[in-house]
C-alpha cells in the first residue's frame, strides 16, 4: 500500500526511481539497459496485490521462542568457575595452576583484580545485572525486620540494595544469605584498605584517578578483564561448548531458571528479578528438557525400566492412604477416614479400624513376645517392692493384657486364614449377609380423630 500510494495518479514517474537507486542505496551503473527491459514507468504496474504478497512473507518470519536455554549455564560449567575465580584476584607476579574445561592443566599469572572476581561471583549468586552490581552503593545493606542473626547456626539474612536504573517501577532490593553478605563485607574491607582517606560512594571503585572515591568500577574494564580471563580458563559446559564469562547476563538467566525450577510463583520471580511484567520474567526461564523429564518422572508412577506401575483392586485402600503418612503403622494400617480424629491413643490392636495381614506377622510376633516379657518383668518388680501380686484391676495391667489378648487372636487368625487381612478389636468377624430388621409401621403414624 505504501508503494502504491507513492505512485502519481497521472502515471508520471515518481520522484524515487528503481532505475536510478539500487535497494542498498547505491546508484545503478546501467540505467539505459534497465529502462529498455523494465520500461520507462515500472511503478505504474504496481498494484495492491504486490503489498499483500509482501505482508504474507513477513508473517512467515520466524520469531524467537519465549522460553529458551541458550543462555543457561549448566552445573558442569558452574563447577569450573569458582575453582578458576581466584586467578582474577591473584597478584600479577604470582602464578596459579588450573584445569581448563577441556581437562588440560595450565599455569597462568594472576590478573590482580579482586573486584572483578567478587563482582562476577555476586552476579552468579544473586542473578543481578552487571550494572546493578558494579554501581551499587557502599552502604548497600539494611536489616530485615523480625530476623535475627543466629550465631549458633551461622544464619545471616540481610536486605541488599542494588543499583536499579533500568525500570522505574521495579524494586531495588532483595534478600540475600550469609554467602552474599560475606562477599560484600570482603569487598568493603578491600575498599577501606585501598582507599583509607576517603568516604567511598560505591561498593566497587575505579582504582586510578579516583581521589574522591565517587567513580564506580568502569564497565569497559570489567568486560575486558572477563574476556581475557575466559581466554585462559576456557570454561565449557557439559556438551563441550565454550562459555564466555564476559557475557554475564547469562548468569541472570541461570539464577531465575533455578528459582523457577524450585517452584517459586511467577509473581515472586518477577519481584526478585525486578521486572515490570511476568512475560519478561518468563523470557529468562530456560525450558530445559532435563528438568521437564525430572518433573514428569516425579509425578508419574514409573518403574526403573520406564514402564508404568499398575495397581490391582486390592490396592485401592492403600492408594487412598498415600496422602496420609500417619495411616501406615509398623504392624498394619489405620483405616480411619482422614477427616476423623483418633481417640484411641496407642490402642491400635483393640481398634475396629485397625487392619493387618501376613506381611506384618513377624512384627506382631515380636510385639507379643515383648509384651509378655514386659508383663512378667513389671509384675515381678511389683511383687518384690510391695510384697503382694499386682491387682488384676490395675489400669496398666488391664491395658497390657488387652494388648496381649488382641495380639494372640490376631496371630491365630492370620495362621488359620492365610492370605487374608485381619481386623482388630479381637479379630471379631464382621457380620455378613442381610441383617434381620423389624419395622414398626404404626409407630409414627398420626392418629386421625
180-189 tens-digit pLDDT? 999 999 999 9
Can you read off the three cell numbers belonging to residue 377? 518383668
* Tens-place pLDDT, residues 390-412: 998 888 888 888 888 888 888 88
Determine how β-strand 173-176 pairs with β-strand 328-329. Answer: unpaired
In this predicted structure, the answer to whether residue 196 has a pLDDT above a threshold of 60 is yes
Residue 223: band (very low, low, confident or very high) from pLDDT cuts 50, 70, 90: very high
Domains and CATH numbers, the chain: 2-59 (no CATH), 75-292 (1.10.443.10), 315-427 (no CATH)
Measured distance CA(124)–CA(243) in Å, rounded: 14
Average pLDDT for the chain:
78
Q: Reduced to 3 states, what is the DSSP secondary structure of residue 109?
A: strand
Position 235 scores a pLDDT of: 93
pTM above 0.75, yes or no: no
Asked if 135 and 106 count as a contact pair (C-beta separation under 8 A), the reply is no
Categorise residue 199: left if φ over 0, alpha if ψ from -120 to 50, beta otherwise.
beta
Distance CA 295, CA 261 (A): 9
pLDDT at 303 over 50: yes
Residue 123: all three cell numbers together: 552476579
Residue 359's pLDDT band, with cuts at 50, 70 and 90, is confident
Q: Which residues pair with 95 in a beta bridge?
A: 109
Distance CA 19, CA 2 (A): 19
Amino acid at each position: 500500500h505504501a508503494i502504491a500510494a507513492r505512485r502519481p495518479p497521472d502515471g508520471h514517474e515518481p520522484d524515487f526511481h528503481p532505475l536510478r537507486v539500487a535497494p542498498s542505496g547505491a546508484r545503478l551503473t546501467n540505467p539505459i539497459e534497465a529502462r529498455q527491459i523494465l520500461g520507462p514507468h515500472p511503478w505504474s504496474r504496481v498494484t495492491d496485490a504486490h503489498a499483500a504478497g509482501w505482508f504474507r512473507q513477513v508473517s512467515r518470519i520466524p520469531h524467537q521462542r519465549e522460553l529458551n536455554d541458550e543462555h543457561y549455564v549448566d552445573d558442569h560449567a558452574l563447577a569450573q568457575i569458582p575453582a578458576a575465580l581466584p586467578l582474577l584476584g591473584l597478584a600479577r607476579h604470582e602464578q596459579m595452576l588450573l584445569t581448563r574445561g577441556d581437562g588440560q592443566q595450565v599455569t597462568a599469572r594472576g590478573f590482580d583484580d579482586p573486584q572483578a572476581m567478587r563482582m562476577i561471583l555476586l552476579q552468579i549468586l544473586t542473578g543481578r545485572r552487571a550494572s546493578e552490581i558494579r554501581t551499587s552503593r557502599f552502604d548497600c545493606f539494611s536489616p530485615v525486620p523480625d530476623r535475627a542473626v543466629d550465631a549458633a547456626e551461622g544464619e545471616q539474612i540481610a536486605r541488599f540494595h542494588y543499583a536499579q536504573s533500568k525500570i522505574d517501577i521495579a524494586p531495588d532490593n532483595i534478600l540475600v544469605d550469609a554467602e552474599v553478605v560475606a562477599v560484600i563485607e570482603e569487598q568493603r574491607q578491600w575498599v577501606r584498605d585501598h582507599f583509607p582517606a576517603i568516604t567511598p560512594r560505591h561498593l566497587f571503585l575505579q582504582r586510578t584517578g579516583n581521589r574522591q572515591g565517587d567513580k564506580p568500577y568502569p564497565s569497559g574494564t570489567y568486560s575486558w578483564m572477563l574476556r581475557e580471563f575466559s581466554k585462559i580458563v576456557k570454561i565449557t559446559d557439559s556438551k563441550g561448548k565454550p562459555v564466555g564469562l564476559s557475557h554475564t547476563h547469562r548468569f541472570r538467566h541461570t539464577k531465575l531458571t533455578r528459582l523457577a525450577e524450585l517452584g517459586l510463583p511467577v509473581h515472586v520471580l518477577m519481584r526478585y528479578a525486578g521486572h515490570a511484567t511476568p512475560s519478561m520474567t518468563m523470557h529468562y526461564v530456560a525450558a530445559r528438557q532435563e528438568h521437564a523429564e525430572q518433573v514428569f518422572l516425579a509425578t508419574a508412577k514409573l518403574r526403573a525400566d520406564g514402564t508404568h506401575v499398575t495397581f490391582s483392586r486390592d490396592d485401592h485402600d492403600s492408594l487412598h492412604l498415600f496422602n496420609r503418612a500417619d495411616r501406615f503403622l509398623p504392624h498394619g494400617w489405620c483405616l480411619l477416614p482422614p477427616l476423623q480424629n483418633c481417640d484411641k491413643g496407642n490402642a491400635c490392636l483393640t481398634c475396629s479400624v485397625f487392619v493387618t495381614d501376613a506381611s506384618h506377622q513377624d512384627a506382631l510376633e515380636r510385639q507379643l513376645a515383648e509384651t509378655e516379657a514386659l508383663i512378667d518383668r513389671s509384675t515381678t518388680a511389683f511383687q518384690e517392692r510391695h510384697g503382694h501380686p499386682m491387682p488384676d484391676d490395675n489400669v496398666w495391667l488391664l491395658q497390657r493384657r488387652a494388648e496381649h489378648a488382641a495380639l494372640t487372636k490376631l496371630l491365630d487368625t492370620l495362621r488359620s486364614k492365610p492370605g487374608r487381612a485381619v481386623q482388630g478389636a479381637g479379630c471379631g468377624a464382621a457380620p455378613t449377609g442381610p441383617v434381620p430388621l423389624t419395622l414398626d409401621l404404626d409407630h409414627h403414624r398420626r392418629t386421625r380423630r
